Amino acid sequence: ALGYFTFDPGFVATASCRSAITYIDGEEGVLLYRGYPIEQLAEQSTFLEVAYLLLYGELPTAEELAAFERSITNHTMINESLKSFFNGFHYDAHPMAMMCGVVGSLSAFYYNHTDINDPADRDLAAHRLIAKMPTIAAACYKHGKGEPFVYPDNRLSYTGNFLRMMFAIPSEPYEVDPVAERALDVLFILHADHEQNASTSTVRLAGSTGAHPYASVAAGIAALWGPAHGGANEAVLRMLEEIGHPDNIPKYIAKAKDKDDPFRLMGFGHRVYKNYDPRAKIIRRHCYEVLEKLGKRNEALLDLAMRLEEVALSDEYFIERKLYPNVDFYTGIIYKALGIPTNMFTVMFAIARTVGWVAHWLEMVSDPELRIGRPRQLYTGPARRDYVALDQRG
Ligand code: SDX
pTM of the model: 0.94
State residue 323 phi and psi, 5-degree precision.
-100, 115
CA 246/CA 376 separation, integer angstroms: 46
Q: Ligand 1 atom closest to Cα of 199?
A: 9
**C-beta of residue 117 within 8 angstroms of C-beta of residue 144:** no
Annotated catalytic residue within 270, 286, 315, 360: 270
- pLDDT tens, residue order, the chain (394 aa): 333 344 454 444 455 689 999 999 999 999 999 999 999 999 999 999 999 999 999 999 999 999 999 999 999 999 999 989 999 999 999 999 999 999 999 998 887 777 888 999 999 999 999 999 999 999 999 999 999 999 999 999 999 999 999 999 999 999 999 999 999 999 999 999 999 999 999 999 999 999 999 999 999 999 999 999 999 999 999 999 999 999 999 999 999 999 999 999 999 999 999 999 999 999 999 998 999 999 876 789 999 999 999 999 999 999 999 999 999 999 999 999 999 999 999 999 999 999 999 999 999 999 999 999 999 999 999 999 999 999 999 9
DSSP 3-state of 179: helix
Q: Ligand 1 atom closest to Cα of 195?
A: 4
Q: Ligand 1 atom closest to Cα of 24?
A: 4
State residue 268 phi and psi, 5-degree precision.
-115, 145
Number of Cβ within 10 Å of residue 180's Cβ equals 22
268 Cα to the center of ligand 1, angstroms: 7
In the sheet where 36-37 sits, what is the strand order? Answer: 22-25, 30-33, 36-37
Of all protein residues, the one whose alpha carbon is nearest to atom 2 of ligand 1 is 197
Asked if 270 is an active-site residue, the reply is: yes
Ligand 1 site: residues with CB under 6 angstroms? 194, 197, 228-230, 232, 256, 264-272, 321, 323, 326-328
Residue 16: its pLDDT value, please?
Answer: 67
Of all protein residues, the one whose alpha carbon is nearest to atom 43 of ligand 1 is 321
**C-beta of residue 147 within 8 angstroms of C-beta of residue 354:** no
Task: Say what the ipTM of the complex is.
Answer: 0.97
Mutation test residue for ligand 1: of 321, 348, 355, the one with most atoms within 8 Å of CB? 321
289 Cα to the center of ligand 1, angstroms: 28
Q: Ligand 1 atom closest to Cα of 277?
A: 10
198 Cα to the center of ligand 1, angstroms: 13
**C-beta of residue 244 within 8 angstroms of C-beta of residue 389:** no
Of all protein residues, the one whose alpha carbon is nearest to atom 39 of ligand 1 is 321
